[in-house]
Amino acid sequence: MATIEIIIRDKEGQVLNRVTAESYELGQELATVSQIEGAIDQLKNALLPALEADLLTDQQRKTMVELKKANR
């Protein structure tokens, strides 16, 4: 069974957490192109919302830090 793990790091090498904490299984049977394409489509549907949330959360955190620095 194939498993995918994705690690997303910022410029400083810090790991952005939520997506990287999970492994995504592609399924038991990946013997045909159709099965592989189906598994990848399911992975995209499961992974992209979490990936987007991680990136947006990290950017929001950075923006808040910058705003606090500017207000001092």
Rounded CA-CA distance 18/4 in Å is 14
Query: What is the model's pLDDT at position 21?
Result: 60
pLDDT of residue 66: 93
Q: How many domains does the chain have?
A: 1
14 band by pLDDT with thresholds 50, 70 and 90:
confident
Domain that includes residue 52, residue range: 2-70
- List all residues 6 or more positions away from 54 whose beta carbon is below 8 Å from its beta carbon: 8, 16, 17, 18, 19
Q: How far apart are CA 38 and CA 44, in angstroms?
A: 10
Whether the Cβ atoms of residue 36 and residue 9 lie closer than 8 Å to each other? no
Half-sphere exposure of 48 (CA within 13 A, CB side): 6
pLDDT tens readout for residues 15-66: 876 665 677 777 778 889 998 898 889 888 888 888 888 888 888 988 999 9
Q: 13 pLDDT exceeds 70?
A: yes
- Residue 5 confidence (pLDDT) above 90: no
